[in-house]
Amino acid sequence: MKVIVWVHGREYDLEVQPEDKIEELKSKINELSGTPIEQMNPSIEGYLMKDGTTISEYPQIVEGSKIHVRVILKSYSEKPEKPEKSEKDCILM
């Protein structure tokens, strides 16, 4: 069946099968949009689609359904280490 995937403000038509796992869905979305799989949170009608489940476990998914993908950007709680300055990095004036 064909569904519509909404990610990054763009719509993509995507062919899915009831037996497809959500991980496969994410992989297909990655191929279309370039969005990293680990940053995807797909949902249908407000219900988060969890890894390990299949399309058939979401009865609201029918031909033409819209799947919204929320992209979770990684945040870094620790500041990256600054490299040590060497004499070569210093500018003399």
Residue 79 pLDDT level (bands cut at 50, 70, 90): low
For 50-68, what is each residue's pLDDT tens digit?
Answer: 999 999 999 999 999 999 9
72 within 8 A of 9, measured Cβ to Cβ: no
Residue 44, pLDDT above cutoff 70: yes
Q: Which of 1, 13, 32 lies closest to 40 in space, CA to CA?
A: 32
CA atoms of 6 and 85, how far apart (whole Å): 46
Share above pLDDT 70 across residues of the chain, in percent, rounded to a whole number? 80
The least confident of 42-46, 71-75, 78-82 is 78-82
Instruction: Indicate the fold that domain 2-71 takes in CATH.
Output: Ubiquitin-like (UB roll) (3.10.20)
pTM for the model stands at 0.75
- Of residues 45 and 87, more confidence is placed in 45
CA atoms of 43 and 1, how far apart (whole Å): 17
